[in-house]
Amino acid sequence: KWFHAARDTNTLEVFGTYSAQVSEPPKEIKDKISAKRPGWSWRNLK
């Protein structure tokens, strides 16, 4: 089973993992990242 890990490449902090069969991280993971990294956006799309 394949998966993606949403993580910060500088600090190695892991925000979560999700299935490789989806095209973007789930809302819960994007919300976790946004809470820690204000201004962050998925693929630089707002």
Distances 18 to 2, 22, 30, 41 between C-alpha atoms, Å: 9, 8, 11, 17
Query: Rounded to two decimals, what is the model's pTM?
Result: 0.78
Question: Alpha carbon 44 to chain centroid distance?
Answer: 12
Per-residue pLDDT of the chain (46 residues; tens, 9 = 90+): 899 999 999 999 999 999 999 989 999 999 999 999 988 888 875 5
How high is the pLDDT of residue 34?
92
31 φψ region: left (φ > 0), alpha (ψ -120 to 50), beta (else)? alpha
Residue spans of the domains in the chain: they are: 3-44
d(CA 35, CA 45): 17
d(CA 13, CA 1): 22
